[in-house]
Structures are given as C-alpha cells and as structure tokens.
C-alpha cells in the first residue's frame, strides 16, 4: 500500500478498512463454537469463513484497481 494522492484516496482508505476487517476475520476462531451446542453458537462458522473469503476477494479487486492506476506500484511489486 502506498500513500494516497488525489482520486486514489478512496481506494487507499477502502483497502485499509478491508485489511483491518480481514485481520479480525483471520484472528477470530470460528472453529470454537463446535465445542458448544448449536443452540449456544453466537454465529455460524460457515458464515465466518464466507466472510473471510469475500474480504480476500474484495482486497484482490482493490489491489487490481490500484495496480491499474498506480504505475509506481506496478514497478515495485512486479506487476506489469
């Protein structure tokens, strides 16, 4: 992630938010509810896994957009 300039501010901030959400999703332990009866689960572990997959997809899309709009990034991370 590089410093935002002009119209890239939104993508930069969005990417930061998605990364934060992804860290939360990765550090949560969706497998823990299996130790409890289904009636005591606070969330469905399958939903947590889908959320993480969705966040990774969004992050990939943001990175692709940034790669198209930031020639300096393409040079530093190997993309063309």
- Domain for residue 38, yes or no? no
User: For residue range 5-31, what is the model confidence (pLDDT) as tens digits?
Assistant: 666 788 899 999 999 999 988 887 766
pTM of the model as a whole? 0.64
Task: List the structure tokens of 41.
Answer: 């689960």
d(CA 34, CA 44): 10
59 belongs to a structural domain: yes
Do 13 and 2 meet the contact criterion of CB atoms below 8 Å apart?
Answer: no
pLDDT (0 to 100) of residue 77: 52
Query: How many structural domains compose the chain?
Result: 1
The range of the structural domain enclosing residue 23 comes to 9-27+49-71
The model's pLDDT over 57-75, given as tens digits with 9 standing for 90+, comes to 999 999 998 887 655 544 4
Does any domain span residue 42?
A: no
Mean per-residue pLDDT for 34-46? 80
Whether residue 63 is contained in a domain is answered as yes
- CB neighbour list of residue 6: distance below 8 Å, 6 or more residues apart: none
């Amino acid at each position: 992630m590089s410093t935002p300039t002009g119209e890239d501010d939104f993508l930069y901030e969005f990417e930061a938010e998605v990364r934060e959400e992804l860290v939360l999703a990765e550090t949560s332990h969706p497998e823990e509810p299996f130790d409890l009866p289904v009636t005591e689960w606070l969330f469905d572990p399958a939903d947590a896994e889908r959320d993480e997959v969705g966040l990774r997809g969004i992050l990939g899309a943001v990175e692709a957009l940034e790669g198209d709009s930031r020639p300096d990034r393409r040079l530093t991370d190997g993309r063309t």
